[in-house]
A and B are shown apart, each in its own frame.
Chain A
């Protein structure tokens, strides 16, 4: 009975999400599309919960819907207001759309064919991953995969975040290099927003640390915790309670690289300790993983916050205020 109720819920969610996705793509107004995207991210998080993948749901809610929504809304604010969507009509555009449409349809067909041709018990490493989990000292298999079995992927992801930030900073004007990012600052935040920015961060920092800490044994981890911390930083910047740091600050850069650097260093040491790059010595696996996760949380929070804050926009003068 519970099965059928679940099936109704899943079918309903799937239809809802498809409808919202199509509408988000088809709608003309940029703000309307972003609002649709934020709602879409919430529904995707619900779907991940229905699939019992709470780790992914947490990431989707924090990054996909929360921070991406913030980023897209700020991006829309930078677009000229009276050009909601690129004007169509030229033949080249129509041809381009047809080509893109055909390619997307082809990709969808190939993916559908692959899914349909999967063997009945789909190939899975889940059993092997769960079996080896005790050697890591962790209770959450997702964290086991991210930090132990496939640590190289996570290391590269952490590095990519720093590279993305360098890419963003390189958009700064020459005169602004070394200054403070200003994309999140608002002129008149208003009393309600300031109150929110004062009340929310203490709770949010606690939740962020909780997500990182609980990630060892339950859904959560460095990316989810870091995203929440970055969001708290962003609200403080939006409300003007603090200025974004100068991008040439030594301490800021140290925070940015400490996660990937420590991860890499411990991975290198693994060559001697555990006979493999990114291997952990048996008795030390869990403390080392926790140290790496803590440093990663800090670096991810800083990188995501700075990605939201935008490229440096003000002269790096001694005052450096605006």
Chain B
């Protein structure tokens, strides 16, 4: 059983790593984010398999944390990307950061 779970972990890691080709190729940044997202979910599966296979109970906590934070990168990505479109001029006056809003 341990062998099988380790093998399955390796297989899942291999497939999501293959998905990283999407990070290299793009074409746009949302596609890259998709590949990172797949790596996140695949990483959670790999961790669960590894944790059960190696008897490291704490790996479950790590998987839990990764699942908890799984949406964060995409959310930050989207809110960051959306800003220049939805908000052409800065609304708050004393802007502390030098920002190029010439778009």
A61 touches B72 (CB 8 A): no
**Distance in angstroms between the alpha carbons of A66 and B71 in the assembled complex:** 10
Closest B residue by C-beta to A220: B61
| A196 engages B75 (CB within 8 Å) | yes
A285 close to chain B: CB less than 8 A:
no
A73, B82: Cβ atoms under 8 Å? no
Task: Find B73's partner among A38, A50, A172 (CB 8 Å cutoff).
Answer: A38
Given the known inter-chain contacts A5-B7, A6-B6, A69-B73, please indicate yes or no for A207 contacting B64, CB distance below 8 A.
yes
Report Cα–Cα, A305/B101, bound state, in Å: 26
Contact of B68 among A8, A23, A200 (CB under 8 A): A200
The chain A residue with its CB closest to the CB of B36 is: A39
For the residues of B in contact with A, the DSSP-based class is helix
A322 at the binding interface (Cβ < 8 Å): yes
Q: Is the CB of A66 within 8 A of B20?
A: no
Q: Which residues of B contact A231 (CB under 8 A)?
A: 68-69, 72
Q: Mark A207-247, 1 if CB is under 8 A from B, else 0.
A: 10011001000111000100010010011001000000000
**A196 pairs with B71, CB closer than 8 A:** yes
Let me know if A278 is at the binding interface, CB within 8 A: no
B72 near A69 with CB under 8 A, answer yes
State which of B7, B29, B50, B97 has its C-beta within 8 Å of the C-beta of A78. B97
Given A42-B39, A224-B65, A238-B75, A31 and B29 contact (CB-CB distance below 8 Å): yes
Interface presence of A2 (CB below 8 A): yes
Distance, CA A66 to CA B36, complexed state (A): 12
Q: Which of A5, A12, A57 contacts B62 (CB 8 A)?
A: A57
Within the complex, which residue of B14, B32, B91 is in contact with A32, where a contact is CB–CB below 8 Å? B32
CA distance A46 to B64 in the complex (A): 14
Q: Are B47 and A20 in contact (CB under 8 A)?
A: no
Residues of B within 8 A of A32 (CB): 23, 26, 29, 32
Per the 8 Å Cβ criterion, residues 193-209 of A in contact with B are 193, 196, 200, 203-204, 207
Given the complex of chains A and B, what is the CA–CA distance between A49 and B76 in angstroms? 26
Docked-complex contact A314 and B92, CB < 8 angstroms: yes
Query: How far does the alpha carbon of A32 sit from the alpha carbon of B24 in the complex, in Å?
Result: 8
Known: A39-B20, A42-B66, A46-B43. A74 touches B58 (CB 8 A): no
Given contacts A35-B73, A80-B103, A214-B58, 4 further A-B contacts (CB under 8 A): A81-B84, A218-B58, A219-B61, A234-B72
Q: Which residues of A contact B (CB under 8 A)?
A: 1-2, 5-6, 8-9, 12-13, 16, 20, 23, 29, 31-32, 35-36, 38-39, 42-43, 45-46, 49-50, 52, 54, 57-58, 61-62, 65-66, 69-70, 73-74, 76-83, 171-176, 182, 186-189, 193, 196, 200, 203-204, 207, 210-211, 214, 218-220, 224, 228, 231, 234-235, 238, 310-315, 322
11 A-B pairs with CB atoms under 8 Å apart are A5-B6, A16-B20, A31-B77, A35-B77, A45-B62, A73-B73, A77-B80, A188-B82, A218-B58, A313-B92, A315-B93
- Chain B positions within 8 Å of A, measured between CB atoms, are 2-3, 6-7, 9-10, 13-14, 17, 20, 23-24, 26, 29, 32-33, 35-36, 39-40, 43, 46-47, 50, 56-59, 61-62, 64-66, 68-69, 71-73, 75-77, 79-84, 86-87, 91-97, 99-100, 102-103
7 closest A-B pairs by CB: A80-B100, A77-B80, A173-B94, A73-B76, A219-B58, A31-B29, A66-B69
